Amino acid sequence: MTDKAAPVDPRPIRTFGRVGGRSLSARQQALVEDLLPRLAVPEGLSDPRMLFPGAREVWLEIGFGGGEHLVEQARRHPEVGVIGCEPFIEGMAKALTGIEANGLTNVRLLMDDARPLVAALDEGCLDRVFILFPDPWRKKRQQKRRLIQPDFLASLYRACRKGARVRFATDVASYADEALGYFLGHGGFDWQAKSADDWRLAPADHVTTRYETKKLGDCAPVWFNFLAQ
């Protein structure tokens, strides 16, 4: 009798949970149908600078939630091109509302997992990256789905120029410990903390999000800032 090999699951590991949620308002639905296609990151993008002619830098925010941080950073820095990735339709609709309300022309959006995008980007094309409160996948058996993994950091490092700034934040203690270990273990990300306040206090340029105010984690927010070497 021949042993049969276990079937291989062809589905890629996702770094986010459920995608469905509350129904959109008529206005939000209209923005998703009309504005999102105009701002969508094209499939197979390799050079994000092509999306922002004349921009001084290109920034990437992975998992922008309700878009408060994304929209405000783009508003404060009109000379910068900002790409935001978010798989949840509710968050995308909220970001579109803020983009329209502020008349922003320096934002492009991807409603999907950020990993394939980062893997496809040209070497050294990102100047700044925000990864703020990604899904922590709290259960031990789920933690392989966490975004911060060695393979992802290798892709991210390649896409960052030398001197690019990377910010990671979480309010889950196990994720903070694990992520810091992976960043430092990579060897290409220089942790900028000089004292405990550098990771205990929100950076001066941070924009507080609705997620933070809910205090859903098991610890106070932890802020890790790195420079790509």
Active site residues: 135
Supply angle C-alpha 101, 213, 107, rounded to 5: 30
d(CA 45, CA 81): 14
Query: SS3 for 227?
Result: strand
Please state whether beta strands 126-132 and 80-85 pair in parallel, antiparallel, or not at all (unpaired). Answer: unpaired
Which helix (H) or strand (E) segment holds residue 144: the answer is none
Q: Report, in angstroms and rounded to the nearest whole number, the Rg of the chain calculated over CA atoms.
A: 18
DSSP symbol at 89: H
- Crossing angle (nearest 10°) for helices 68-76 and 89-102: 30
Cβ neighbours for 204, distance < 8 A, ≥ 6 positions apart: none
Please state whether beta strands 222-228 and 189-191 pair in parallel, antiparallel, or not at all (unpaired). Answer: antiparallel
Q: What is the DSSP string of 16-68?
A: S-----SPPPHHHHHHHHHTHHHHBPPTT---GGGGSTT-SEEEEEE--TTSH
